[in-house]
């Protein structure tokens, strides 16, 4: 069994490590230019996804900072807390720096005899190599433009601004804060006792004074230094078809969502879970890898991914209505129903497991 993966990014390396753990040979095709990985961006991994990641991909516990609960605030209620998510486990989710995870995966794969890094080739040459499966993780690749262009899209007319800041030590810096401001959702995500990440999604503004906005909404930290940030345009998209013959689209090509809930990479891990399950079944029963993997993957994942991404979009639009109509009634509504244990448990489970509830 031999598979090719197009792209050299966090998704492609995570998928590669999953496949080689199943004993599959993988060729990674990408541009030879040295990939620049910024050290600012972070990502959250839910508790159930982390269990799968540690058990079936790579143990990353040493790189993580665990978050015990999430507090939700609303500027329309003068930054009053409206929700508080906890569960019976030690933590809700974990934060990791993109750069740290990428570097660890790359180091492991460079030492693995089942993996070969190759210079990107044309589509015709790729087909002549007769791979069992081809995973396309590169949004800008020719294959994406030729076969995976038909998607449902929504432009938020907003930009996500991302940075980190250093602060005086808080030994129990394990509470994530989400503030729904009048300009958009702002998240404070702890990384360590002395460092916290910020993601602020602002309507129609690419250039903002992020440092002053952090200071405006910060009520918890004694800030020592705010690092230079970056920004990117926000869009929601869902691919209409996940595969073409034996080529499977993967990662951001399949779905992009608003970052307010930190669920982008979690959706990708859930997709990897499904690919892992399908391929493991084939191997156990002595079956070869073929285009049926793509068929089954789309059948089992597409609707769930669309429902989940629509749920995140609904949360964004729900709070966006407050600023549109200059009211705080919606925040009061959320605060009231958030006290209900069943409602709170549902949203906690939704964020942790998504629509897929199967255990792996």
180-193 tens-digit pLDDT: 888 889 999 999 99
Query: What is the distance, to the nearest Å, from the Cα of residue 65 to the centroid of all Cα atoms in its chain?
Result: 16
What's the pLDDT score for residue 112?
97
Q: Is the pLDDT of residue 117 over 60?
A: yes
Domain coordinates in residue numbering, the chain: 2-154+235-353
CA-based max dimension of the chain:
62
This prediction's pTM = 0.90
What's the pLDDT score for residue 31?
85
Looking at every residue in the chain, the average pLDDT score rounds to 88
pLDDT confidence band for 341 (50 / 70 / 90): low
Give the integer Cα–Cα distance in Å for 121 and 139.
16
Please give the average per-residue pLDDT across 40-61, as a whole number.
Answer: 95
Please give the average per-residue pLDDT across 115-130, as a whole number.
Answer: 94
Structure tokens at 260: 């307010």
* 141-156: pLDDT as tens digits: 999 999 999 999 999 9
Q: Is the pLDDT of residue 172 over 60?
A: yes
Q: Is the pLDDT of residue 343 over 60?
A: no
CATH number of 2-154+235-353: 3.50.50.60
What's the pLDDT score for residue 207?
85
Nearest by Cα to 352 from 62, 49, 6, 77: 49
* 71-91: pLDDT as tens digits: 888 887 766 787 777 766 678
Q: With pLDDT > 70 as the criterion, what percentage of the chain qualifies?
A: 86
What's the pLDDT score for residue 351?
58
Please give the average per-residue pLDDT across 33-49, as a whole number.
Answer: 81
Give the integer Cα–Cα distance in Å for 180 and 155.
19
Of 63-67, 90-94, 165-169, the least confident: 90-94
Contact 67, 92 (CB under 8 A): yes
What's the pLDDT score for residue 130?
93
Question: What phi and psi, each to the nearest 5 degrees, are found at residue 286?
Answer: 70, 25
* 275-323: pLDDT as tens digits: 999 999 999 999 999 999 999 999 999 999 999 999 999 888 888 776 6
pLDDT confidence band for 327 (50 / 70 / 90): low
Give the integer Cα–Cα distance in Å for 237 and 260.
15
Contact 257, 309 (CB under 8 A): yes
Q: Is the pLDDT of residue 196 over 50?
A: yes
Identify the H or E element spanning 308: helix 292-325
């Amino acid at each position: 069994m031999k598979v090719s993966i197009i792209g050299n990014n966090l998704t492609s390396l995570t998928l590669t490590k999953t496949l080689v753990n199943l004993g599959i040979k993988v060729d990674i095709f990408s541009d030879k230019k040295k990939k620049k990985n910024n050290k600012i961006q972070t990502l959250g991994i839910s508790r159930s996804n982390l269990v799968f990641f540690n058990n079936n991909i790579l143990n990353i516990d040493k790189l993580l900072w665990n978050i015990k609960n999430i507090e939700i605030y609303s500027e329309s209620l003068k930054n009053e807390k409206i929700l508080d998510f906890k569960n019976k486990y030690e933590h809700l989710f974990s934060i990791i720096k993109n750069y740290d995870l990428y570097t660890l995966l790359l180091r492991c794969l460079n030492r693995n005899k089942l993996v070969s890094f190759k210079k990107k080739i044309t589509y015709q040459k790729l087909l002549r190599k007769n791979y069992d499966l081809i995973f396309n993780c590169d949004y800008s690749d020719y294959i994406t433009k030729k076969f995976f262009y038909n998607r449902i899209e929504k432009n938020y007319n907003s930009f996500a601004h991302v940075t980190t800041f250093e602060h005086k030590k808080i030994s129990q810096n394990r509470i994530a804060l989400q503030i729904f401001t009048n300009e958009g959702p702002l998240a404070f995500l702890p990384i360590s006792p002395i460092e916290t990440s910020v993601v602020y999604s602002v309507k129609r503004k690419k250039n903002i004074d992020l440092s002053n906005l952090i200071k405006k909404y910060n009520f918890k930290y004694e800030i020592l230094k705010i690092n230079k940030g970056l920004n990117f345009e926000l869009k929601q998209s869902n691919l209409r078809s996940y595969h073409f013959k034996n080529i499977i689209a993967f990662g951001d090509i399949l779905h992009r969502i608003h970052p307010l809930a930190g669920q982008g990479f979690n959706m990708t891990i859930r997709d990897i879970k499904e690919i892992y399950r399908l391929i493991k079944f084939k191997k156990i029963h002595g079956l070869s890898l073929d285009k049926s993997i793509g068929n089954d993957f789309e059948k089992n994942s597409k609707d769930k991914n669309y429902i989940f991404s629509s749920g995140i979009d609904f949360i964004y639009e729900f709070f966006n209505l407050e600023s549109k109509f200059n009211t705080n009634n919606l925040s009061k509504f959320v605060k009231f129903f958030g006290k209900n244990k069943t409602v709170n448990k549902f949203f906690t489970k939704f964020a942790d497991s998504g629509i897929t509830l199967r255990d792996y």
